[in-house]
Amino acid sequence: MQRRTLKAWFLVHKWTSLVCTVFLLLLCLTGLPLIFGHEIGHLTGAEPEVDAPAEGARPMDVDVLLQTALDRYPGELPLFFGWYPDDPLVYVNTGPTPDTPPADMHTVVMHAYTGEVVPAPQFNEGVMWLIYRLHTDLFAGLPGTLFLGAMTLLFATAIVSGVVLYAPFMRKLPFGTIRTGRGRRLAWLDLHNVLGIVTLAWALVVGLTGAINTLATPLSQMWQADALAQLADADADAGNGPASPADLASLAAAVSLARSKAPDMKPAFVSFPGTGYSGDRHFGVFLVGDSPLTSRLYSAVLVDAANGSFAGMPARPGYITALLVSQPLHFGDYGGLPLKIVWALLDLITIVVLVSGLVLWVRRGSTESRVRELEAAQRAGLLAGGRPR
């Protein structure tokens, strides 16, 4: 590798690493408990513990469950009805108006088979909530989320530049070699390089999917705006006005109709008219697949909330598919507890890589001296030769 090229790649790796390392350490440290968020929620009581349904039991009619929730908050409107993915529970969000913001909604959680009301989890308080906010937006809302996305892109750049620097000098050295007899800095460098290569693919996947996840809000808003505009045009052409909140069709019939249109999928949640997910006249029945990966791929079936007729099944844009696939890949929560443990171990190794990079920077020489070191090592065969001398 030529001196100018070597220096350019070294500077790219140095500065992209320095800018993002502190924030990546924060993301790794906060991401570790979030990997086990579901398990921690059960252990701490933040999420309800419920008995499994009896063998052969059938879920209760969703219209009955919906009415149970509405009876607890008289005068409020149903906004969302959803199913827990891992527990026999359903939830209903209610509010005084269809456009009630999430923070002002009331939530009722019920056993799907008995109708028993259980305590609703509190998602906006406690240590896990603080960790979640630090991990997702630094308590700065969308600007904080987009900033962290930029940091993950710098991290990906640091990984690629690190591989470029690593490959020419380490490819002939036995893999995993850490030279402890040539000074602490060289040992730290070898540790940094070896662990970096071990976690290379995982770190790239998690980093890039994390960057995609930071775009969730703008991408979802773009999809909603496009889909809702099409719905509004279709309703205007048909002369249909908004559905009356007091005279909605059966929710159970709407869910059954949606399942008939997508028999290989199961319902995840239903949005009611006016909530911003399905226009002013439709139920939006969102369904997911049964496999670990497709369980995050939502498809929407629109049902006319006034008369219960099928209104359409809008196509899912490619950018939404990329977003939905990136979420389970980022947290490793599509393969059960064993995969979560693997994700946690790789997260811990990445923390060591980041810390070792900081140690190398603290014990740094000048850029010119580092480039001369690499050139000398290349000429002498210390890094590209058969064995270290």
CA distance 321 to 342: 25
Q: How many CB atoms lie within 10 A of CB 252?
A: 15
Most trustworthy range by pLDDT among 11-15, 38-42, 193-197, 268-272: 268-272
Confidence of residue 389 (pLDDT cuts 50, 70, 90): very low
pLDDT digit string, tens, across residues 28-40: 999 999 999 888 8
Q: Is the pTM of this model over 0.75?
A: yes
Q: How many CB atoms lie within 10 A of CB 279?
A: 27
Q: What's the residue count for the chain?
A: 389
Q: 109-123, 164-178, 226-240, 332-346: which range is least confident on average?
A: 164-178
Instruction: Summarize the confidence of residues 136-157 as an average pLDDT.
Output: 94
Instruction: Summarize the confidence of residues 274-296 as an average pLDDT.
Output: 86
Give the residue from 212, 221, 217, 218 showing the smallest Cα distance to 323. Answer: 212
pLDDT digit string, tens, across residues 348-385: 999 999 998 888 888 765 555 555 555 554 454 444 44
What pLDDT score was predicted for residue 106? 95
What pLDDT score was predicted for residue 181? 64
CA distance 223 to 77: 25
Q: How many CB atoms lie within 10 A of CB 247?
A: 8
3-class DSSP string for the chain: CCHHHHHHHHHHHHHHHHHHHHHHHHHHHHHHHHHCHHHHHHHHCCCCCCCCCCCCCCCCCHHHHHHHHHHHCCCCEEEEEEECCCCCEEEEEEECCCCCCHHHCEEEEEECCCCCEECCCCCCCCHHHHHHHHHHCCCCHHHHHHHHHHHHHHHHHHHHHHHHHHHHHHCCCCCCCCCHHHCHHHHHHHHHHHHHHHCHHHHHHHHHHHHHHCCHHHHHHHHHHHHHHHHHHHHHHHCCCCCCCCCCCCHHHHHHHHHHHCCCCEEEEEECCCCCCCCCCEEEEEEECCCCCHHHCCEEEEEECCCCCEEECCCCCHHHHHHHHHHHHHHCCCCHHHHHHHHHHHHHHHHHHHHHHHHHHHCCCCHHHHHHHHHHHHHHCCCCCCCCC
What pLDDT score was predicted for residue 176? 58
Average pLDDT value for the chain: 85
